[in-house]
Amino acid sequence: MDEAVTTSRRFPRSSGVLCHVTSLPGRWGIGDLGETAHKFVDWLASAGQGLWQALPLGPPGYGESPYQSFSAFAGNPLLVGLDRLAAEGWLSMSELDGAPRFDDGAVDFEQVRPFRRQCLARAHQSYMSRATRAQKQALEEFCADQEWWLADYVKFAALKEAHQDRPWTTWNPDEQSPSRPSAPGAAKELAGAEDFERFVQFQFHSQWRELQEHARARGIRLMGDVPIFVAHDSADVWAHRDLFFLDERGQSTVVAGVPPDYFSETGQLWGNPLYRWEKMERDGWAWWRDRLGFAFRQFDLVRLDHFRGFESYWEIPAGAPTAAHGRWVAGPGAKFFRRLAQDLGELPIVAEDLGVITPAVDALRDGLGLPGMRILQFAFGEDAKGPEYRPHNYPRHCVVYTGTHDNDTTVGWFQSGAGEGTTRTARQIAEERRFALAYLGTDGRQIHWDMIRLALGSVADTAIVPLQDVFGLGTEARMNLPGTLRGNWRWRFTEEMLAPEATARLAEMTAIYDRSPWERRTVKENVRTEK
């Protein structure tokens, strides 16, 4: 390994909660950046937490997955807070009061999307007709400042709507590249749709800045998630075809995935196009510099998904039936991160180093000084890396999770049987459960709190707990089952679930293990007094 590049932004001992914005409560079908997001920040502070981790915030594509977004830079229109628009006068409460009855416990994207889009369209019309000169100037300044990505995205989004959401490879030839001018009549028709998309992005990013400021005021750091790959049907690939392995028709020649693993006997066939890393290197990885620089402005800390792909990635021929038919190909390695650190300064990155991890991947992560991830649900089985996930073997510079968005909830994991989102056999599950109980010294009746205590009490600098585990929910609250396309990304909680008992218990446990920045000494003294 050449000279090391470190993040040099090693945060103090702390803990936080994993909860995607879509999972927040609210009246209008899906969590958003409005009042409930600000209230959730307040709840995190009251529970002694210092970190909120969310999933990618882009507009979700195929299967509603935030990891298959239409853009690496745009915000999800469904996350624009409608109550915020109403408070600013761009929507009337009577319009919102006429909303359909939504499910409080799950996102029905098919119902939510048309309602939200209708509300945004009305807000846009109101803004353009009644906004003051200063308000319109703020929109113009945003568009000018973000033109470097926004111009491609709004044209892509407008064209996609005009083509009933069909992939860009099916569009007319003169629409398959932003560099090709549209016919005069078509360009005029698209102009209104592009203006609408600019307004939506302006509102999203304005509301995100407000949430950032509120979180900062409450002592909460925001942690984002940057997927290594982008969706083929995205503004990024549409506008930068030369950076990906595509044929003359724009179709992928090779695609991304992972070989057989814990979740699937045939691996995971993601289908994302793969980068032409050598071509990207010629301009200093400019697209990646823009992407991560953008993420570092949005978040205090970024989970870099599939970190092992920067050392080597699993290349699958396009059209292969499963991910089992692939090969490992060398990624850009340390020189990529050295150049980014040279351009961007500190790299506040958490390396998602799960899956098939080799000594070379470990060496890359450690040479860069990046913290890796430790998942407690992987600590008790027969996997060769299981011992590394047991807290007595942790380095301090890592992030421990009870589970991630791809795992079952802790209660669901503990109660699961063979064949339920895992390649484990019934014997392996029984042995894993026995070992977990022995390691934890518990009877398992409150397995979620046992695992939370194990995470918080570890030496890891950072501990993160999915909100479902704080509530002790089962498989019904699972966020995603890898390798499946239906029923994912829909879980929501209700305000009633933020019960005082669970909040106080999490705050006390966090303080006991020196992770809470609030009233730590008082809580410890109270615990000693009660004893």
Task: Tell me whether residue 343 is exposed, middle or buried, using C-beta atoms within 10 angstroms of its C-beta: 0 to 12, 13 to 18, 19 or more.
Answer: middle
Q: How many CB atoms lie within 10 A of CB 337?
A: 24
102 DSSP 8-state letter: P
Known active-site residue 352: yes
- Catalytic residue, candidates 152, 352, 408, 450: 352
- Catalytic residue, candidates 32, 300, 305, 461: 305
Known active-site residue 406: yes
Query: What would the 3-class secondary structure string for 482-506 be?
Result: CCCCCCCCCECCCHHHCCHHHHHHH
Count Cβ neighbours within 10 Å for each residue of 463-487 and write b for 16 or more, e otherwise: bbbbbbbbbbbbbebbbbbbbeeee
Intra-chain end-to-end CA distance of the chain, in Å: 52
Query: CA 208 → CA 197, 205, 293, distances in Å?
Result: 16, 5, 16
Contact 31, 22 (CB under 8 A): yes
Supply angle C-alpha 205, 211, 213, rounded to 5. Answer: 105
Known active-site residue 210: no
Residues 440 and 212: their CA atoms lie apart, in Å, by: 37
Backbone torsions φ then ψ of 338, nearest 5 degrees: -60, -45
219 DSSP 8-state letter: T
- Catalytic residue, candidates 152, 175, 194, 406: 406
Catalytic residues: 305, 352, 406
